[in-house]
A and B are shown apart, each in its own frame.
Chain A
Amino acid sequence: MIKPNQKRWSRVKRDYELYLFLLPIIILYLVFRYYPMYGVQIAFKDFSPSQGIWGSEWVGFQHFIDFFNSYNFWPIITNTLSLSFLSLLFGFPAPIIIAIMLNQMLGKKYKKFVQTVIYAPHFISTVVLVGMLNIFLSPNSGIVNHVITLFGGDPILFMADEGWFRPLYILSGIWQETGFATIIYLAALAGVNPELHEAATVDGASKWKRVWYVDIPSILPTIVILLILALGNIMSIGFEKAFLMQSDLNYATSNIIPTYVYEMGIQKAQYSFSTAVGLFNSFINVILIFTVNRIAKKMTETSLW
C-alpha cells in the first residue's frame, strides 16, 4: 500500500515543471515583499545605514510616541480620514447612479458613444490630471476663472487655497474614475432577470418604480462587496494625486499620511520615524479591513472571505 505522504511526494515530482513556473514569483515576493517586512523592525530602532537593519539599536516605541506627540499628528489623521471618507461619500454612489441611467438608454449606438467618452479619463495619468487642474484653475488664464469673472465674480486662487484642496481632489477623482467604475454595475444590471421587469410592467410599474424595486435590489450584493472593499481601503488613500496637488499654501489640508511618510522618509531621510508612521497606518488599515469584513458577514451574509 502507498502511504499518502509518498503519494504526495510523487505528485510533486511529477509536477516539478509547475513548481519551476512558480519559482520567479516566489523569489520576487521573498525579496521584494517579504524582506521589507523584516525591515519594518527599524520602526522600533534607531536605524543607521552603517550598522544596517539588524545592527541598529532598539528604541522600542519611541518613534511612535514622538509621532503621537508631534503637533502634526491630529491634523494628519484628520486630513487623511476626511479626505477618504468624503471621497467615498461622494464618489461611491456616482457610478451606481450613472450605470442605472445608462442601463435605461434605448439607443444602442448613442449609449456606446456615451460609454466610450466617460471611460476615457481613466486612461489619463495623474500628472496630466493635476496639470489640467493647474491650467484650468489658474487665476489669470484658466477657463474656470474666465467663467467666474464673466459672471462678475472675482478670480479664485483654487490651487493655492487650503479650503479648495478637498473639493478639487474629490471632484477630479469623480471626473476621472466614475465612468470606468460603471462597468462592474453595468455587468450586474445585465444579469437582472428580464421576467422581473416584465412582471412589474404587467402590474403597471413605471420605469422609475422598476429601477427602484427591481434594478437596485438586484445589484445590491455587488454594491455591498464594493463598499466593503472601499471601506477596507479607507487608510490607503493614494499618494500620487495628493502629492502632486500639494504646495506650501494648501499644506494645512493636503498633508496626509502617505505624503508625510514620503516627506519624512525620502526627503528628510528620517528612516525609522517614517517607517513607524507607515506601520501605524497599515496597522489601522488591517484592523479596519477585518472589522468591516466581519460586520458585513454578520449583516448581509456577503463578505470577502
Chain B
Amino acid sequence: MNQLLKRKSRGDAWFDIINYILLTIIMLLVLFPLYFVLIASFSDPNYIYSGEVWLFPKGFTLDGYERIFGDSSIWIGYANSILYATLGTLIGVAVTVFAAYPLARRNLVGKSAIMWFLLVTMFFSGGLIPTYLLIKDLHMLNTIWALVIPGAGGVFNVIIVRTFFQSSIPDEMWEAASIDGCSNTRFFWSIVLPLSKSILAVMVLYHVVGFWNGFFDALIYLNDESKYPLQLVLRNILVQNQVNSGMMIDVESYAAKMRVTELIKYGVIMVSSLPLLILYPFLQKYFVKGVMIGSIKG
C-alpha cells in the first residue's frame, strides 16, 4: 500500500512541482516587505530614494537608529508600552483564569446563567460613546487604568481556558481531592494551575501581543503625550508624518529632511516590531496551540 502511495504518476509529479513553486512565490511575497524594511533601515536614504536598494543594504549606515534612539519619545513609548503590557497582562490573565475555573466545573449552581451573562456581551454592547462617557465619569480618562481594566476578561479567552480545564482536568480529580479534604482554592492553586502551564503561556502571549500592538484605547482615552504607548508614538511618525525635531538635528535642506524622515520610518518599524519578531519563532507553537484549542467548540 505504501509503495503504491509513493509511486508517482507524471501528473502527480507536476502537481508537486507547481505546488512547490507557487508556495515559494507566496512565501517570498510575504517575506520581501519585511526583509526590505530591514535592509532599508540600514541603507543610505539617498539610495532608497533613487530606488537602488533591492536585495542588499546600500551605503550601510546606522544614522537612522542613532536618531531614533537619541530621541526621548521612542524611549518613553517603549517604557509605557512595557508598563501597560505587563500590568494589562497580569490583570487580564488573572480575571480570565479565575473566571474560567469555576465555569469549567460540571455542577456549579447557576453556571449557565453566568455563562449567558458573559456571552450576551458578544452580541450587544453599549458602543463607543456610552463606554467613553463611563470612563470619563469614573475619572479614568488619561490614566493607565482606562487601558488595562475595561477590556479584561474577554469572553473568547474565558471560553478557551474553560475548554482547556474541562478537557485536561476531569471532575473526578477534584472529587478525589475533595475527599482528601482539599478546598476549592487550594485545588486551584496546587493542582489546576501547575497542570495548565501551556494554556497560561497562550493567554500571556495573546495579552502581551494585544497590548503591544493596540493603539485604539490609548488614542481615545489618553491625551498626555508622556503617557503615550509606543504605537501612538509610531502613528505620529509613520502615519501623520510628524518626525520630532530632535531627530532632525543637523539636517539642513528640505530634500535631505524628507530623506532622513524615510530612513527614520524604516528604523522605527524595526525597533517596534523587533521584540515580537525575535520572540515569535520560539513562541509560534503556543500560538498554534491557542488557535487549535480555541477552535474546539466549548
Could you tell me which A residues sit within 8 Å of B by CB distance? 8, 11-12, 15, 17-19, 21-22, 24-26, 28-29, 31-40, 42, 53, 98, 101-102, 104-106, 113-114, 116-121, 123-128, 130-132, 134-136, 138, 140-141, 143, 146, 149-150, 175, 179-180, 183-184, 187, 197-198, 201-202, 206-208, 222, 239-240, 244, 261-262, 265-266, 271, 274-275, 278-279, 282, 286, 289
Knowing that A28-B152, A127-B215 touch, tell me 20 more A-B residue pairs with CB under 8 angstroms: A11-B107, A12-B109, A15-B105, A32-B149, A35-B130, A36-B131, A101-B19, A123-B209, A127-B231, A127-B234, A128-B238, A131-B265, A136-B33, A141-B258, A187-B295, A206-B12, A266-B132, A271-B129, A278-B129, A286-B123
Residues in B neighbouring A38, C-beta threshold 8 A: 126, 130
Q: How far is the CA of A24 from the CA of B153 in the complex (A)?
A: 9
From B103, B281, B291, name the one whose CB has the most chain A CB atoms within 10 angstroms: B291
Residues in B neighbouring A265, C-beta threshold 8 A: 128-129, 132
Residues in A neighbouring B276, C-beta threshold 8 A: 123-124
Residues in B neighbouring A121, C-beta threshold 8 A: 30, 34
Whether A183 and B288, one on each chain, are in contact in the complex, defined by CB atoms closer than 8 angstroms, is: yes
Whether A28 and B153, one on each chain, are in contact in the complex, defined by CB atoms closer than 8 angstroms, is: yes
Q: How far is the CA of A32 from the CA of B215 in the complex (A)?
A: 19
Residues in A neighbouring B72, C-beta threshold 8 A: none
Interface size on B, residues (CB 8 A): 96
The yes or no answer to B249 lying at the interface (CB within 8 A) is: no
Whether A240 and B284, one on each chain, are in contact in the complex, defined by CB atoms closer than 8 angstroms, is: no
Stretch at the interface among B20-28, B58-66, B82-90, B193-201: B20-28
Minimum distance in angstroms from A263 CB to a CB of chain B: 11
Whether A207 and B12, one on each chain, are in contact in the complex, defined by CB atoms closer than 8 angstroms, is: yes
**Given A120-B280, A274-B128, A282-B127, do A131 and B234 touch, yes or no (CB 8 Å)?**
yes
Residues in B neighbouring A36, C-beta threshold 8 A: 125-127, 130-131, 134
Contact of A35 among B19, B126, B280 (CB under 8 A): B126
Residues in A neighbouring B235, C-beta threshold 8 A: 127, 244
Contact of B20 among A15, A105, A150, A275 (CB under 8 A): A105
Whether B30 and A179, one on each chain, are in contact in the complex, defined by CB atoms closer than 8 angstroms, is: yes
**Given A126-B213, A128-B234, A206-B9, do A118 and B126 touch, yes or no (CB 8 Å)?**
no
Residues in B neighbouring A11, C-beta threshold 8 A: 107, 109
Residues in A neighbouring B212, C-beta threshold 8 A: 125
Residues in B neighbouring A126, C-beta threshold 8 A: 213, 215
Whether B262 and A141, one on each chain, are in contact in the complex, defined by CB atoms closer than 8 angstroms, is: yes
Give the nearest-CB partner of B152 in chain A.
Answer: A28
0/1 interface trace, chain B 1-33, chain A, CB 8 Å (1 if under): 100110001011001100110111011011101
| CB neighbors of A among B28-51 (8 A) | 29-31, 33-34, 36-37, 48-49, 51
Give the nearest-CB partner of A30 in chain B.
Answer: B117
| CB neighbors of A among B256-283 (8 A) | 258-259, 262, 265-266, 268-269, 272-273, 276-277, 280-281
Whether A206 and B11, one on each chain, are in contact in the complex, defined by CB atoms closer than 8 angstroms, is: yes
Q: How far is the CA of A219 from the CA of B95 in the complex (A)?
A: 35
Q: How far is the CA of A146 from the CA of B284 in the complex (A)?
A: 35
Q: How far is the CA of A266 from the CA of B265 in the complex (A)?
A: 28
The 20 listed contacts between A and B (C-beta, < 8 Å) are: A21-B98, A21-B99, A24-B94, A24-B95, A33-B126, A35-B126, A35-B130, A36-B125, A38-B126, A39-B133, A40-B126, A40-B130, A53-B130, A53-B133, A127-B238, A128-B234, A141-B258, A184-B295, A206-B9, A279-B127
The yes or no answer to B220 lying at the interface (CB within 8 A) is: yes
Residues in B neighbouring A28, C-beta threshold 8 A: 95, 149-150, 152-153
Residues in A neighbouring B75, C-beta threshold 8 A: none
Residues in B neighbouring A106, C-beta threshold 8 A: 16
Whether A198 and B238, one on each chain, are in contact in the complex, defined by CB atoms closer than 8 angstroms, is: no
Q: How far is the CA of A105 from the CA of B16 in the complex (A)?
A: 8
Q: How far is the CA of A117 from the CA of B33 in the complex (A)?
A: 12
**Given A21-B102, A22-B102, do A104 and B16 touch, yes or no (CB 8 Å)?**
yes
Residues in B neighbouring A131, C-beta threshold 8 A: 234, 237-239, 265, 268-269
Residues in B neighbouring A202, C-beta threshold 8 A: 1, 4
The yes or no answer to B124 lying at the interface (CB within 8 A) is: yes
Minimum distance in angstroms from A254 CB to a CB of chain B: 13
0/1 interface trace, chain B 230-242, chain A, CB 8 Å (1 if under): 0100110111000
Residues in B neighbouring A119, C-beta threshold 8 A: 280, 284, 287
The yes or no answer to B226 lying at the interface (CB within 8 A) is: no
Minimum distance in angstroms from A303 CB to a CB of chain B: 11
Whether A183 and B291, one on each chain, are in contact in the complex, defined by CB atoms closer than 8 angstroms, is: yes
The yes or no answer to B251 lying at the interface (CB within 8 A) is: no
The yes or no answer to B188 lying at the interface (CB within 8 A) is: yes
Residues in B neighbouring A124, C-beta threshold 8 A: 213, 273, 276
